[in-house]
Structure formats: C-alpha cells, structure tokens
Amino acid sequence: MKDKYPLWQTSGWTFGVLLVIPILAIFYTAIGASDELFSHLMDTVMGAYTLNTLGLVFGTSLLAAVFGLPSAWLMAMCRLPGEKWLQWALVLPLAMPGYIIGYIYTDWLDYAGPVQILLRDWFGWQSYQDYWFPDIRTLGGACLVLALVLYPYIYLLARTAFMEQSASLLQSARLLRCSPLESFRRISLPLARPSIAVGLSLIAMETLGDFGTVSYFAVHSLTTAVYDTWLGYSNLNAAAKISALMLLAIFLLISAERFSRRRQKLFQQHNGPNEDVRYLLSGWKKALALIWCWGLIGFAFVLPFLQLVYYAWHYFAQSWTAEFREYSINSLMVSGSAALLAVVVALLVNFYHRLDGRPVSLAPMRMSAMGYAVPGTVLAIGVMIPLTSADHLINDFTRAMDWGRPGLVLSGTMFAMIFAFVVRFGAVAVGSVESSLAKISPSLDMAAKTMGCASVPMLRRVHLPLIRRGCLIAGLLVFIESMKELNAALLLRPFNFETLATYVFNYASDEQLELAALPAILLVFVGLIPLVVVNRSLEQSH
C-alpha cells in the first residue's frame, strides 16, 4: 500500500490546476454568447484571416522542409569538408527572431534598398515601371522569412532519424546500385517520416503563433486578429473566441500528425561504433552540397547577423542608453523569476509523482506542461481572463472592508507576464527535471526511508544534489525562452514597462532597426545557449 503524502499531493495538484487554468479560461469564455464585434468579424474578415493563416502555415512548412531535409541528409549520410562546423552552424538560425530577419530583408529588398538600387545602376532602369521585382512584404515573403528561421526544427529531428537508420539497409541499397539520391528518396525519407512529421508540426505551431513577422509584413492572420481585438477594441470576449479557434486548430494539427503514423512502427539497428556508411562526395556534387549548406547558413544567419553588428557598431552611442539598460534589467527580473518558479513547480509535480507512483499522480505533471503548445498571443488572453476576474474580486473585497482599491495588482503588474511565462515554458522545466529524476535508482529512496528520512529531507539531501544539473539546465532554458518571448509580453506588459523583445519590436516597427541592433544581438546570443545544449546532447548520443 502506497504511503500518503498530503503536502506533496496538495502542492502538486494546486500548481497543476493553476497552470492549466488559462487554457480552460479561453474555452469557458469562448462558449459564451457572441457579441457584436465577433459577429462582425465573422461576417467580414475572419474568412480571409483563416485562409491567410492556412497559407502561411502550409507555405512555411513546405519551404522549411525544402531547406531542412536535404541539409539533414547531407550532414547525416555524407562526408563533407568542415562537417563539424556545418552541423553546428545549420542550427544557428533558430536563435534569430523571425521579425528581425524580416526587417533586415525588407530593408535590403525594398525599392529603396541596396539590391534594387544596384540593379537599377547596372541595367539603367529609372523607376519601378521599368522592371519587375518580387515584393518581400507579402504572404510569400513572410513564409520565406519564417522558413529560414524555423527550418532547424525539421533539420535536427530528421538528421537524428537519418543517423539512427540501419546500416544494413543502406549497404543493401548500394549493392542494388541505388544512387545517393535514390537511397534518400526510397529508403531514408520513408524511414524518417515520423520525425519529419513531428518537425513539421512544431514548425506549423510556431508559425501559427508568430506575431512579429506577420504584423510587419501586413499579413492578416488569426494571431494578428487576437492582438487587434484585444488591444484595438479592448474586447476580451471576442479575443477569447478567436483564441479558442486557434487552440482547436493546434489540437487538430497534433491529432492529425499522430493519426497519420498510428500504425507505423520502426525497429532499426543502429550503426556500429566503427561503421561509417556515409557517402563520400566529390567533384560537382561536393561543391553543390557545400554551396547549399553554407548558402543556407549565410542567408538565414550570417548576413543578417553581420548587418546587426554593423548597425550596432555605428549606432552604439545612440543605442547604449539608460532605457536600454533599464529594459535589460526588466527582462532579467521577469525571466529570472519565471525560471525560478518554473523549476520549483517542476520539482513539486515530479517529486509528488515519484513519491506516490500511481497513474493519477502523473496528471499534475501533464497539466503543468500543456501550455507549451499554446501560442504566446493566445496564452496571454487565457492569462488575462482569470487574472482580471481575480483583480475584480480583490478590489471588491478591499472596498467592502474600507481598505480602498488597490487596482490591478495581478493583471496590471509583472505578475501577469511571469505567470504567462511559467505556463508557456513550464513544460521545458518539467521535462528536464523528469529526465533527471528518472536516472536516480528507487533503491536510494527506499534506503532513505529505511533510515527514517522524511520526504522533504530526502529531497533536500538525496535528490537535489543528484539532479542539480538538470534543475540548472531547466532554469536556464526557461530563462532564455522568457527573454525572447514577444507575443505574450506585448499583451501583458504593464504600462511604461518594456522588455528587450518588445524594445526591439517597437524600434524595428518604426523603421529604426539600427537603434534596435544592440538589444537584438543580445537576444541572439541568449538564444544560442540552448542550441549549444542541444548540439552537445546530439554529439553525446551519437
């Protein structure tokens, strides 16, 4: 018979329920009666917004697959000069915010940009009527920019899948005189389908939740509809209904991905430690492979980053201001608080499940991790609904007690942002702590109990020293993701409160990217840290 742990049970379920409340609040508000604004949106623009969103998701996913799959196969199945550097560099674009790439490419490719000026000088064109040049600020341009930033998702997963494929299958393909292209098309690609499906679903969810890029490119999507409905019309009910539609779309997307491979089971023998079945490319094939990989890195990361460095160097005096330092401190405070709380919640729900052991104790862990699939804009609406209601209750109580009205103590302060970040990125902390605890033998728990150690001292003296690294990684990842989060911060920030992400967005939206370069570089460097962690884990596992 399992021991009862009422303190851990209460704590685990309390935090699990708290972190799932924003998602439930969205659906609870959405099922209410429709108001005039939502009915008007449904009758006028919602159809176009939905089509734009579908086109954005499809176009971005397709282009990301075109960028990521060949790169993943080349890195996994071919021997190339500088491959150690390439496999790291191909992940770098994930650290670059999509809206920054969009601003830079718009600056380069606009009519007044250096590319079109150079073309007019070369060919003697006088005006835009003399030639045709694609407009970057369109739906297609937004798909291209987002694909350049998000293709590492499918690259990482597909590369891992290709590396884990059976060596005997690849050798059999060579005996049957299959070319590298045929081997890729007929063997590697079908076997990697589950990983590719997961990568595409991640890209689709990130695209669905993007606001900075689509807003700047004037692509009206469901995300911009949520933002405009809340900030433009102050209508929480209509914003919740649109958010519920987006959550349903995400649920259908995840369900379709799992349903498509429900009967697919792959049992593969990994390559031996001394077995290298990779192709040795030479001649024009090697040159083409190197041009493809390094060209992708150049357009997706190196050239935009060099542009940021150029702006930061020439406008350092204008960028290094008291506001920049203040907003950096704001980001550190909010992100640090969110990271600390997320680790505490992860410890509580994971340790409760370890102590209890019953399937029901797994529920708080899964509830704490549900917010990761929710776009930041949608999650902000879900956070505002319960916090606004709680603020009303607090003010009604204090007024009844003649204590005055404290105002928006929850929804109008940093608490709303911190709570949203914990809900959004709690899954990262929960997963990291869960994997660390899973490596600790249950015999240590039994030995501690035999020596009369209660649950709290056992956690402090036995488990925490052993999972310290996992907790540090969990806190670091939540901190970094919170530093970069734009969507939720835009909707939940208090008055006269900026983070580095909103600071960069505001300057870039005002066509002053040169003044946003310094904080943007800081965000890029912060975003590189989890990529280093991911690549190191891949190297250790292979």
pLDDT at residue 166, rounded to an integer: 60
Lowest-confidence region among 103-107, 168-172, 224-228, 465-469: 168-172
Q: Taking 80 as the threshold, does the pLDDT of residue 224 lie above it?
A: yes
Q: Which of 309, 330, 358 is the last residue of a domain?
A: 309
Residues 82, 197: one domain? yes
Q: Quick: pLDDT tens for 382-421.
A: 898 899 889 889 888 888 887 877 878 888 889 999 999 9
**φ/ψ of residue 333, rounded to 5:** -65, -50
Residues 445, 367: one domain? yes
In this prediction, residues 361-380 reach a mean pLDDT of 84
Q: Quick: pLDDT tens for 312-349.
A: 999 888 888 888 889 889 999 999 999 999 999 999 99
**C-beta separation of 439 from 470 below 8 A:** no
| Residue with the larger pLDDT of the pair 187 and 61 | 61
pLDDT at residue 60, rounded to an integer: 95
The verdict on residue 409 lying in a domain is: yes
DSSP 401-432: TT------TTTTSHHHHHHHHHHHHHHHHHHH
Residues 533, 391: one domain? yes
Q: Which of 294, 309, 324 is the last residue of a domain?
A: 309
Residues 182, 287: one domain? yes
Can you give the pTM of this predicted structure?
A: 0.83
pLDDT at residue 198, rounded to an integer: 79
DSSP 373-388: GS-HHHHHHHHHHHHH
**φ/ψ of residue 79, rounded to 5:** -100, 120
The number of residues in the chain equals 542
Distance from the Cα of residue 414 to its chain's centroid: 22
pLDDT at residue 37, rounded to an integer: 83
Which amino acid, residue 425?
Answer: F
* DSSP code for 438: H
The verdict on residue 9 lying in a domain is: yes
Residues 300, 327: one domain? no
Residues 195, 149: one domain? yes
The verdict on residue 350 lying in a domain is: yes
Distance CA 343, CA 235 (A): 34
pLDDT at residue 65, rounded to an integer: 93
The helix or strand, by DSSP H or E, that contains position 78, with its residue range, turns out to be: strand 78-79
The CA-based dihedral angle spanning residues 338, 339, 344, 347, taken in that order and rounded to the nearest 10 degrees:
140
DSSP 317-346: HHHS-HHHHHHHHHHHHHHHHHHHHHHHHH
The verdict on residue 42 lying in a domain is: no
pLDDT band at residue 271 under the 50/70/90 scheme = very low
**413 Ramachandran zone, left/alpha/beta (phi>0; psi -120 to 50):** beta
pLDDT at residue 172, rounded to an integer: 65
Q: 65 is written with which tokens?
A: 């697959």
Distance CA 147, CA 136 (A): 14
pLDDT at residue 235, rounded to an integer: 82
Q: Taking 90 as the threshold, does the pLDDT of residue 305 lie above it?
A: yes
**φ/ψ of residue 279, rounded to 5:** -80, 140
Task: Work out the mean pLDDT of the chain and round it to a whole number.
Answer: 83
Residues 217, 348: one domain? no
pLDDT at residue 267, rounded to an integer: 47
Q: 23 is written with which tokens?
A: 């998602």
Domains in the chain, number: 2
Q: Is 357 helix (H, G, I), strand (E, B) or coil?
A: coil
The verdict on residue 247 lying in a domain is: no
**Which of these, 171, 170, 165, lies nearest to 193 by C-alpha position?**
165
Share of the chain above pLDDT 70, in %: 88
Residues 287, 325: one domain? no
Residues 19, 56: one domain? no
pLDDT at residue 464, rounded to an integer: 82
Sign, Cα dihedral of 316, 321, 323, 327: positive
**C-beta separation of 349 from 16 below 8 A:** yes
Distance CA 309, CA 294 (A): 20
Q: What is the CA radius of gyration of the chain?
A: 25
Task: Find where tokens 């007024």 sit.
Answer: 399
Distance CA 516, CA 83 (A): 33
Residues 179, 280: one domain? yes
**φ/ψ of residue 77, rounded to 5:** -115, 0
Distance CA 311, CA 107 (A): 13
pLDDT at residue 62, rounded to an integer: 95
**Which of these, 510, 533, 534, 507, lies nearest to 520 by C-alpha position?**
507
pLDDT at residue 67, rounded to an integer: 95
Residues 344, 432: one domain? yes
Q: Quick: pLDDT tens for 416-439.
A: 999 999 998 888 888 888 878 887
pLDDT at residue 176, rounded to an integer: 62
The verdict on residue 201 lying in a domain is: yes
Q: 81 is written with which tokens?
A: 């000069």
Residue 138 lies in domain: 50-221+269-309
Q: At CA 420, angle to CA 340 and CA 48, rounded to 5?
A: 150
Lowest-confidence region among 90-94, 262-266, 368-372, 388-392: 262-266
Q: Is 14 exposed, middle or buried (0-12, 13-18, 19+ CB in 10 A)?
A: middle
Q: What is the CATH number of the domain that holds 82?
A: 1.10.3720.10
Distance from the Cα of residue 65 to its chain's centroid: 17
CB atoms within 10 A of CB 503: 24
How many CA atoms does the CB half-sphere of 132 hold within 13 Å?
1
CB atoms within 10 A of CB 40: 13
pLDDT at residue 398, rounded to an integer: 87
pLDDT band at residue 1 under the 50/70/90 scheme = very low
In this prediction, residues 54-78 reach a mean pLDDT of 91
The helix or strand, by DSSP H or E, that contains position 98, with its residue range, turns out to be: helix 98-109
CB atoms within 10 A of CB 188: 22
Q: Quick: pLDDT tens for 132-171.
A: 888 888 999 999 999 999 998 889 888 877 777 666 666 6
**C-beta separation of 53 from 208 below 8 A:** yes
| Residue with the larger pLDDT of the pair 428 and 540 | 428
Residues 79, 113: one domain? yes
Distance CA 72, CA 199 (A): 12
In this prediction, residues 459-480 reach a mean pLDDT of 81
pLDDT at residue 167, rounded to an integer: 61
Q: Which of 291, 309, 327 is the last residue of a domain?
A: 309
Question: Which range, 169-178, 279-288, 377-386, is most confident?
Answer: 377-386
Q: 1 is written with which tokens?
A: 């018979």
The verdict on residue 245 lying in a domain is: no
The verdict on residue 227 lying in a domain is: no
